A = this chain, B = another copy of it.
Amino acid sequence: MNSDSEKNYNFRTDLADERRDLYRKANHIENEVEGIEAEEEQIDEKIKVTRVKITNEQGERAIGKVRGSYITIDIKKINLLTEEEQEKACSTLANELKRLVGEKIQFKEDVLVVGLGNEEVTPDALGPNVIKEVEVTRHIINYLPQYIDENARPVSAIAPGVLGTTGIETLEIIKGVVEHTKPKLLIVIDALASRSMERISSTIQISNTGIVPGAGVGNTRKELTEATLGIPVIAIGIPTVVETAVVVNDALDIFIEKLQQEAKSNDYLNRLKAEDNYEQIKEALLPKEFNFIVTPKEIDELILNMSSVVAKGINMSL
């Protein structure tokens, strides 16, 4: 497999974690991929942290992501967390975030939090929902400093809306705000596409590389990165939708696996399973207008729970 085919591989996931797994599976790599470092930490029964670092060009090419840190926090059954478990999820996020922020800016330097997405579309409302719960302090520090701890960090927050409802590129809005309010770091919250339904609104990816809004579902907008904005950008991404072809591809594997267990499979099916059939499935579904982007029935509650975890995590870390 040469690098060209690697580049063209469609991971249909924005999670570095999943891409690394896919790459290793596709290339039958048992050990770690060159240019990628990874470690896992099981925080408790329900929370797991995976830290993936891409260290060189080879790693970049392998999984199609730029050099940097990609931290994935998986929370099992986020809908059913006890108050204590939720607190744990928030503090886990806060710790990872604090570390990444601390690598980029000084204590007390100004942070702008940006919540991407469309409030009117449930699976896309996570960003704007988080913004509503972020504790903003910049205006108090500017106008009423006597009412706030003198060590408070100036925090501001904005939900810029989406191109479809504003007619304006997100980058155009954020660039203007950054120029006029001069934060030292951006935290951007975005909804992602994932490969797996059970990660919907249950997984958080934090990275220090910025993001390209909407990359996961096929819309390329202009990226929000240090290159385009002039300040470091930390991205918090949460999967909220999957593509039907992805679901079918994975379900097909599970189905063939069962046929194998029941000794009902055959060579052809075994080969089907060994390969990744996403592209063919997609090609089959597309002309029938069958390749919907879907989300679980419970998405309202999942988004509500996750918004709260992310907002509290941000508030604790800043």
Is A280 interfacial (CB 8 A cutoff)?
yes
Chain B residues with CB under 8 A of A296: 292-295
Given known A164-B139, A173-B180, A176-B175, contact A251–B285 (CB-CB < 8 A): yes
Q: How large is the interface on A (under 10, 10 to 19, 20 to 34, 35 or more residues)?
A: 35 or more
A177 closest partner in B (C-beta) = B176
Is A27 interfacial (CB 8 A cutoff)?
no
Chain B residues with CB under 8 A of A176: 173, 175-180
Chain B residues with CB under 8 A of A169: 139
Choice from B197, B284, B290, B301 contacting A290 with Cβ under 8 Å: B197
Copies of this chain: 4
Give the segment of A29-37, A119-127, A207-215 that binds chain B.
A119-127
Give the segment of A39-47, A98-106, A153-161, A308-316 that binds chain B.
A153-161
The answer on a CB contact under 8 Å between B167 and A292 is: no
The answer on a CB contact under 8 Å between B292 and A197 is: yes
Separation in Å of the A91 CB from the closest CB of chain B? 17
Assuming A173-B176, A255-B285, what are 5 further A-B pairs, CB within 8 angstroms?
A121-B301, A132-B165, A251-B284, A258-B284, A266-B268
- Cβ contacts A to B, 19 pairs, < 8 Å: A122-B300, A140-B167, A156-B168, A157-B166, A168-B181, A172-B181, A175-B180, A176-B178, A198-B289, A198-B290, A244-B251, A247-B247, A254-B285, A255-B277, A255-B280, A258-B283, A259-B280, A268-B268, A294-B295
